[in-house]
A = this chain, B = another copy of it.
C-alpha cells in the first residue's frame, strides 16, 4: 500500500526494476542478482512476491536460478549458424567424391556447426511405422504405406544440439544400407544416402516455426526455462517428388538459421 505508482502489481514492478538493471548493464551477464531474502528486504515484499518477480524474468529467459547458489543473469554464448547453403555443399562433395564408401569428412551438420567429424556422436533408433498424416501427405504416399522412421539426437561439444526424426518410404529403403542403423553416422548426410539409391535431390523445402519445448524435449535437449525451440519441417525432393521428410527440433539459443533467396 505504500506507493501505488502506476497501480501495476507489486511483483511486476519489482520485475521491471530488476529487468532494467540487467538491460542497463548494472549486472553483468553471468553476474549475481539479489537473493530472494535480499529482495524481500530491499522492496519490503513477501517471499512469494519476490519469487513471482523472478518467475517473470525466468519465463522471459533473462535469468537462471541455481538451487543453493543464487540467481544469475543468463549468458548468451554466440549461436551457431545453420546455413541453407549446407545442402549445396553436400551436393558438391558428392559430385567430387562420388557415393562410394570413402569417408567424406563433412555433413551439413558438422560443417555448419564447425564441429570435427570425430567430435560428435548420435543416439539413434530406427523403426518401421505407419506415418503420421502430415508426414504421409508431405511424402505424397499412397494410403497404408509404411515408412522407415529414424530418430536421432545429435550431440556436440558435450551438449545435445538437436532432435530429428527422418521419414523415408519403406519401399525405397528396405534391405538397403540406409535401413541399417550401424551405418550411421553416414558421411555426407541424407543427400548422399539418397544418391546411393540413384536419387539426385534437386530441392529442399524447409518450414520453420517456433514453440515452447515439451517436457520430454526439455529433458533430452537440456533446455533452460524461458527458451523456445525452433521447429523445422524439411522435405527433400527430386523434381516434384518428395523422397524424405524430417521433423527437426533445435533449442533456439543454440542456433541461427540462415537462408539465401536468389532473385535470378
Interface residues of A (CB under 8 A from B): 16, 19, 55, 59-61, 79, 81, 84, 87-88, 91, 201-215, 225-230, 252-253, 255-264
Contacts and interface: CB of A to CB of B under 8 A. Distances in A.
A254 to B, nearest CB: 10
Contact of A261 (B205, B211, B213): B205
Nearest to A19: B215
Given A59-B225, A252-B228, A262 B202 contact: yes
Contacts of A210: 210, 228-230, 252
Given A84-B261, A204-B261, A210-B228, 18 more contacts: A19-B215, A59-B59, A61-B211, A84-B259, A87-B263, A201-B263, A203-B263, A205-B260, A207-B256, A207-B259, A208-B208, A208-B256, A208-B257, A208-B258, A209-B230, A210-B230, A228-B228, A228-B252
B226 A212 contact: yes
20 contacts: A19-B215, A59-B59, A59-B225, A79-B209, A84-B261, A87-B261, A88-B261, A88-B263, A201-B263, A202-B263, A204-B261, A205-B258, A206-B259, A207-B256, A207-B257, A208-B256, A210-B229, A210-B252, A211-B227, A259-B261
